[in-house]
Amino acid sequence: MEAAGEPQSNDIGSNAIDESISSSELATRLSMEAEAVTNGETDLESLNQPLLKRNRTLSASHLAMVGAKVSHIESLDYEINENDLFKQDWRSRSKVQVLQYVFLKWKLAFLVGLLTGLIATLINLAVENIAGYKLLLVSDYVQEERYMMGLIVLTGANFLLTLSATVLVVFFAPTAAGPGIPEIKAYLNGIDTPNMYGASTLFVKIIGSIGAVSAGLDLGKEGPLVHIGSCIASLLGQGGTDKHRVKWRWYRIMNNDRDRRDLITCGASSGVCAAFRSPVGGVLFALEEVATWWRSAILWRTFFSTAVVVVVLRAFIEFCSSGKCGLFGNGGLIMFDVSNVTVHYNMMDILGVALIGLIGGVLGSLYNYALHKVLRLYSLINERGKLAKILLSLTVSIFTSVCLYGLPFLVGCTKCDPSISKFECSTTGRTGNYKRFNCPKGYYNDLASLLFSTNDDAVRNIFSTNTPGEFHSVSLVIYFVLYCILGLFTFGIAVPSGLFLPIILIGSAYGRLLGIAMGSYTKIDRGLYAVLGAASLMAGSMRMTVSLCVIFLELTNNLLLLPVTMLVLLIAKSVGDCFNPSIYEIILELKGLPFLDANPEPWMRNISVAELADVKPPLISLRGLEKVSRIVDILRNTTHNGFPVIDDDVTVPSSEGTKARELHGLILRAHLVAVLKKKWFLNQPRKTEEWEVRQRFSWVELAERDLDFEQVAISKNEMEMYVDLHPFTNKTPYTVVEDMSVAKAMVLFRQVALRHLLIVPKYQGAGIYPVIGILTRQDLRAHNIQTVFPHIAKTKGREKQK
């Protein structure tokens, strides 16, 4: 039955066709904009316009930039579908089957931690050896005063490493570019980002991270490790790739969106743990930053996964410490133990710490703003094709190599302190705080100690304690400016890249500079100022507090830093929030992913869900006993993923023969496709018995997503038959009354992880239709509501603020 004039269900589907603009048209527009900018036909104001041309209606199918192309985005089914088959499945499960299900979850959590730890070790081992031997070779040329040869070798090696990483990303897995954390946030928020967790993405992410980090680019492996852990979790959760899956019955019980979400949460926390050797910090990162929905069972399993990661990393560190892993023994896996440093601070130190937090908040928001503009510019360049992406990456690589090699020649040599052992000062090896580089014996180049090292060694060097005179102010200023530039222009090229390490290096530079400026007024070591500077910039850019605090405490192994670290993080986040969103929220907006924030806009309280329903197209619903031809017609001509099931002339309980329409529930598109594929048809419209349904369907197979309607062949005779939809209908969908505010509905939608939210009328009766409309993720986005209600959003929003 169809109710004219009432809103239509509009969830976002992977096969959706936008009525106003297709993906090909959108790609053409973006390409034309890029060409116009290149030819000077438009000004740079286009950089302030949305990357995706969104339709000004609530009924548009959503598009997003995923990988290298515009994709249609679909929501995920996190809600438990309580239909007859689900209830029968839970009633029939024995205690042994329940224990098997629980044991399978824990076993998969163990495997996620084990594989993430092994791959993280492989990446670190490869990076430290490739980058280490490269730097040793170039150091030999510098010592021999063959400076041009050293530049050619360094630039050439970095060129080839960058080229290999970029080619893999551009041609095999475009979704492997970047950190992957924004897409993980979107997935755990309920958005199915296509091709983000496939086997090809995992492979390219691993090899690409090794190449990009070994090439000396200003990026880290921490963000990619989070994505790698999530890819491992996804592949384990679904039993393999999309084309090759394990079909064991006991394994298929995990193949649903809800269990896959929990496992990907374990993968994300394991990735953070593998990056920083911080198990508790990894769990808190998943809780604070990426996970939208949380419960105690997820907490236990994520903690178990991170514990496994730490055991694996520790075992390999012990094994490699004897020199069996090449140059990996003392490098990789950022370790900064200051447990032996006594932290004393007075009131002047508190002022300095507060100043670090203030600077971190301001610089973090400025960094986000500048990176936002750079990413818009890069999107226009990348639209020109694969060759443009490769050339952009190689240009950044050459510029980075020349800077890393040439800038140390601009500073003078510093004589070694007599108190320092001659074996520690003026080293020519890969590691060490005092790099000799181009200096004579007994002297060192402080800027080379930071630039001519692997990223992990650079962090250890600038964090080093009890070295007050090691780095000069001029060297730190050069280092700070260089990494601000490299950090902005490296992130966004077509290689796997993380934001953690660039931000740590930038923050530590100005933190150490402030420590030098404080001079005799402070008792805090300059290395600890560098740690606090890194923490402040991360909080100012990423807007994390609790997880960052624990990560830095686990890195430093010194609880005495807890009070000042907490103060720095709180000030930096508060200051940053005054200017712009976090960097991950900015990337989500740029990509066009329909992420639902935790806090609705104040003006949303002035709009009711009924007002949203009024601006949507007519509602499409189904009868409980529906004709096959109508189901086929609806599936063929719409892209909606949920349909209300309405029964006519149902006798109202506790009444004397009163008839009314009944809202039986909500049925998903995937279940309709499953019914058509199995041709579960009836010659006459009748309600089926429970045993009839169980003979043909099981809850496990219905939990799997199958939207491939195009392969279903229905004959003319079958078109005239009927289907009983009652056994497949979710009888307990979430509903809201039409007077509820959009703000309250949005909070409910996000916290319960819904895909559809039914709007029911305030008054019930025989002549009133039981459903007014359906709200979906796309309808509740602030941007879309503003386009439909611009006057309410502006005027009433101002009234609310007053």
Q: Encode pLDDT of 40-99 as tens digits.
A: 443 444 555 556 655 555 655 677 878 777 878 888 888 888 888 888 877 777 888 888
pLDDT above 70: residue 301? yes
- Outline where DSSP puts E strands in 358-515: 414-415, 443-444
pLDDT at 19: 33
Instruction: Name the 3-class secondary structure at 647.
Output: strand
- pTM for the full predicted model: 0.89
pLDDT digit string, tens, across residues 693-716: 888 887 777 776 666 777 788 888
- Residue percentage of the chain with pLDDT more than 70: 85
Q: What are the start-end ranges of the H helices in 407-499?
A: 446-451, 455-463, 473-490
Instruction: Name the 3-class secondary structure at 343.
Output: coil
pLDDT digit string, tens, across residues 336-387: 666 667 777 777 888 889 999 999 999 999 999 999 999 999 988 988 889 9
The domains of the chain are located at 23-62+599-797, 113-320, 349-591
Q: Which of 302-306, 328-332, 333-337 has the highest mean pLDDT?
A: 302-306
Name every residue whose Cβ is closer than 8 Å to that of residue 560 and which is 6 or more positions away in sequence.
342, 343
CA 25 – CA 46 distance, rounded (Å): 18
Which pLDDT band holds residue 130 (cuts at 50, 70, 90)? very high
Which pLDDT band holds residue 797 (cuts at 50, 70, 90)? very low
pLDDT above 70: residue 784? yes
> For residue 738, which amino acid is it?
E
CATH superfamily of 113-320: Clc chloride channel (1.10.3080.10)
- DSSP state string for 6-51: EEPP----TT---SS--HHHHHHHHHHHHHHHHHTSS-GGGGGS-S
Residue 462 CA, distance from chain mean position: 29
pLDDT digit string, tens, across residues 6-30: 333 333 333 333 333 344 444 444 4
pLDDT above 70: residue 327? yes
CA 740 – CA 606 distance, rounded (Å): 10
Rounded to whole angstroms, what are the CA distances from 618 to 41, 631, 660, 772? Answer: 42, 17, 21, 10
Give me the mean pLDDT over the 269-285 stretch.
93
- DSSP state string for 82-124: --HHHHHHHHH--HHHHHHHHHHHHHHHHHHHHHHHHHHHHHH
pLDDT above 60: residue 639? yes
The sign of the dihedral angle between the CA atoms of 201, 206, 207, 213 is positive
DSSP state of 792: I
Which pLDDT band holds residue 100 (cuts at 50, 70, 90)? confident
pLDDT digit string, tens, across residues 202-232: 999 999 999 999 999 999 898 999 999 999 9
pLDDT above 70: residue 251? no
CATH among 3.10.580.10, 3.40.50.300, 1.20.120.1200, 3.30.70.260 for 23-62+599-797 = 3.10.580.10
Rounded to whole angstroms, what are the CA distances from 16 to 10, 12, 59, 251, 366? Answer: 10, 7, 11, 31, 38
Average pLDDT, the chain: 84
Rounded to whole angstroms, what are the CA distances from 686 to 2, 147, 625, 680, 681? Answer: 21, 87, 7, 13, 11
CB 499 within 8 A of CB 560: no
pLDDT at 34: 42
Give me the mean pLDDT over the 523-547 stretch.
92
CATH superfamily of 349-591: Clc chloride channel (1.10.3080.10)
Q: What b/e sequence results for 646-669 when a residue is b if at least 16 CB atoms lie within 10 Å of its CB, and e otherwise?
A: bbeeeeeeeeeeeebbbbbbbbbb
pLDDT at 557: 80
Fold match between 113-320 and 349-591? yes
Greater model confidence, 49 or 397: 397
